[in-house]
Structure 1
């Protein structure tokens, strides 16, 4: 593993191979890993496409999959890379009717655009947890009738429950022209919804949780392109949006500490995705990326190459060359190259509280 940290400062292919080294080091599961994911487009492996029939066209998926899989990226997402670090199959969306899977390695409830509020709008976090409860009840019902290759009670109890949500709650509030103070006032309610989800899953027998905080919202090219007031920091990101994201993350960290003391026999790991992504933008050149605030797949040219009328995959879009070193794929989501770096940083444990390895849940 020696040299991985320094390798990132050279070129993209080097840290891709470095990720592989980290991934292979984490494949020592004693039992088959089961993962359940709740969240938004950062983790959606095809939920929007299968749940609403919403078309997500090429060039999404052009890298690795060589076809559109419903992921908003040119290739794999962070959750895909984390699953591969366990030698596990990629997670299938819960609503994918023709997947042919029996969900033995878990299921993905994350859907593009999801937020915590309002609670009963598909596919809010609350709805995703309700879907999970239905999925669990039906699976156990079938297991008791002798159906094989389904997750049993032990599988649900030993699974990892990954939650990555909140970005859209903040982004939607700003998009509705709420003031900074009004956006901040909404944070406690969003945090309560995440707490409620954790407690609800805990009551269903979940004991192992992995919670991602939200990234630097003010560095997303879409947000930068559409913002009317440009209060930019030294990196060219919107200060107020990032400040809101940091306050949300502080509240989520505090909430995670509280849940840890309340849910005595549970393990809850909080991961600082904000620090990872902000570092990626700050040190883009060191990691082999250029123009960290420019979109690979979009329209309009510098400074952001984002036009809300001509988004990635829609008529008239332009896309960077394969292998070009971009951080942003479409203005909101990262390229596979950026996701690879983010996943490797997550696996390093340097951004986790407490510092527990990602594969902790699949050991006896």
Structure 2
């Protein structure tokens, strides 16, 4: 893991007027406090397959069964991967239930929050299932409906007003936009770079709309190293000139880094715009790239090879026999693989990434999720 980067965290909270800091100070000097019972945390998530806990299954009926889920759930849950996702590890750390998809019609439980993420989601085009703007409009309906049910005395398995007010609003989206643009440009950097501002404008608008509807705590993930994906490496013939020193496609990672640089600036602008909000930018790219650059450090092998797929080395990916389709096979030990199916990360990799994110070493400002909930 790379060394923690030094950052200055500026929080515009006077400890004399903030109950959280009163509690912290009280505990530090062993003075009992009767007002230190924090509100249970809630997560409200938006995104794509990186954090989809069953939205695409509920929304489209697309069967996502075994071998997806084989490591932890031992059944298909709608997650793309052999087990838990990064967001699942967040929930475990915060002692929350795993998030129910917004679209789940049978026995959902929204007491810990709600997940609007759907695999394949993009920022653009608008108004198609299930683009980011649609997820935001779903949230507004969800909030209004939840509060209406609360007013009628119906409180079972739904979020209350405090949950919406103090919840952390998470967004992890953009990789599908970048990949679609890359394919359309025949893997050329400049045309994709020209489209990035339009993708980011949608993310910025989403945060502004969430703020207008009461959100004050935002947790924004950047996108990972797309050029290290076994799927991308297998689909696009390349020479040594097309890859970097660890074998990842250069142009894919260049557009990802450009997107991330501008996303960080969007988060900075929003902090200036919304003085009473906290916008945390999380550098997931660096964490994930480190896995591919130093797999042995984390106990991984054959970094650029999918665990579940077809074709063997170097990438074990074939579009005609993807994970779960006729002809596929699974590696002997999924916990040694970074990538599960050529695109989505293994549970073992997600655990490492989640742990790094939760350390706050890759966040700007440098806050943990726990600290964000308490502010």
Q: Secondary structure at the match of 1:269?
A: strand
Q: Deviation string for 1:145-165 (max 9, x for gaps)?
A: 111233222220100100000
Instruction: Give the Cα separation in 2 of the matches to 1:122 and 1:163.
Output: 17
Q: Which residue of 1 aligns with 2:369?
A: 358
Residue 198 (structure 1) aligns with? 207
In 1, the alpha carbon distance for the partners of 2:271 and 2:320 equals 45
The structure whose Rg is larger is 2
Match of 2:96 among 74, 88, 91: 88
Q: Structure 1-normalised TM-score?
A: 0.90
- Rounded to whole Å, the distance in 2 between the matches of 1:224 and 1:322 is 22
Partner of 2:65: 57
Residue in 2 that maps onto 1:302? 313
Q: Distance in 1 between matches of 2:46 and 2:371?
A: 19
Q: What is the 5 A alignment of 1:124-273?
A: 124-149=131-156, 150-178=158-186, 179-230=188-239, 231-273=242-284
2:337 is equivalent to residue 329 of structure 1: no
- Gaps of at least 5 residues in structure 1 are 7-27
Of stretches 172-181 and 182-191 in structure 1, the one that deviates more from structure 2 is 172-181
Q: Is the 8 A contact 2:147 2:160 kept in 1?
A: yes
Cα displacement (A) at 1:361: 3.6
Partner of 1:111: 118
Aligned to 1:123: 130
**Cα drift, residue 362 of structure 1:** 2.9
Greater relative CO (CA pairs within 8 A, separation 6+): 1
Shift of 1:271: 0.4
Q: Give the 3-state SS of the residue equivalent to 2:336 in structure 1.
A: coil
How far residue 141 of structure 1 moved from its aligned partner, in angstroms, is 0.9
Moved more, 222-231 or 138-147: 222-231
Compute the displacement of 1:229 (Å): 4.3
Q: CA deviation at 1:324?
A: 4.4
CA displacement at 1:5 relative to structure 2: 9.6
The separation in 1 between residues aligned to 2:108 and 2:2, in whole angstroms, is 37
| 3-state SS in 2 of match to 1:349 | coil
- Supply the distance in 1 between the matched residues of 2:111 and 2:254 (Cα, whole angstroms): 40
RMSD across aligned C-alpha pairs, in angstroms? 1.6
The 1-side partners of 2:291 and 2:78 are apart by 25
Whether the 8 Å CA contact 1:115–1:168 is kept in 2: the answer is yes
CA gap of 1:323–1:304, structure 2 versus 1, over 3 A, is closer
